[in-house]
Amino acid sequence: MSSAGLRWTPGYREWLPPAALRDSLTCLWAGVSPDVPSVAEVTPDGCTDLIWQSGYGAYVAGPDTGPAPAPMPPGTILVGARFRPGAGGSAFGIPLAAMRDQRVDLADCLPALDRALPGDLPADTALERVTRVSARLALATPPDHAVLHGARLLAGDGSVAELSDTLGLSDRQLLRRFDTAVGYGPKTLQRVLRFQRVMQILSAAGPKPDLADVAVLVGYSDQAHMTREITRLAGRPPGALLRRLGSA
């Protein structure tokens, strides 16, 4: 998708970045809030986003460890580039542990780039510039490929206990590199990625999925374990999360 093909109507849309950027970016995205005050419900995904907001400007959304509701004025337009777990630290040149659960103005960390993204840009121009700035960040410094590989393993059935040996790193090196490149350690990332798998399953499920089966499928010890984790990460239990996903 390009700015020419994007309709600036209420809703959320995302699309693949150019092929050369896919080691670093999971997607480019845009969102338009309704014409009434609203709250964007943001949940952890292990990623770090460069975001432009109409009327405000650009900021970096660090990796979250819990729900991060964001009040939106009517008709707010957001344009973003989402950096993979393991790619954000090198792209922004900042250890992401310092940005954990934070929203940091781009002017405070990369002022030279912030000048290209003032809050009064037309939406199409903002999209083009966010794409260009994110490409510059992604290509300037390669991501930590060991951490990228570790994140892919943890997104599947990879074991945190075996990750150091698999990647050829000491436990201390592993934690330091994850803190820098992801924003938190492998165990927290595994919890977040497992939660994202649940989100994907519930989004595709019918109105009454068997939550006990879902818990086993994604690797929780039982349904009660899944309920505790989802409540902590999403701010609501699985049933309420399912209803929200269904309404969305």
- State the first-to-last Cα distance of the chain, in angstroms, to the nearest integer: 22
**pLDDT tens for each residue of the chain, 248 residues long:** 445 557 799 999 999 999 999 999 999 999 999 999 999 989 999 999 999 999 999 999 999 999 999 999 999 999 999 999 999 999 999 999 999 999 999 999 999 999 999 999 999 999 999 999 999 999 999 899 999 999 999 998 889 999 999 999 999 999 999 999 999 999 999 999 999 999 999 888 777 889 999 999 999 999 999 999 999 999 999 888 888 876 66
Q: What is the CA radius of gyration of the chain?
A: 18
Residues 6+ apart with CB under 8 A from 121: 52, 54, 129
Is the separation of the CB atoms in 8 and 126 below 8 Å?
no
Per CATH, the homologous superfamily of domain 145-247 is Homeodomain-like (1.10.10.60)
Please state whether the predicted TM-score (pTM) of the whole model is above 0.85: yes
pLDDT of 59: 98
Q: What is the model's pLDDT at position 1? A: 47
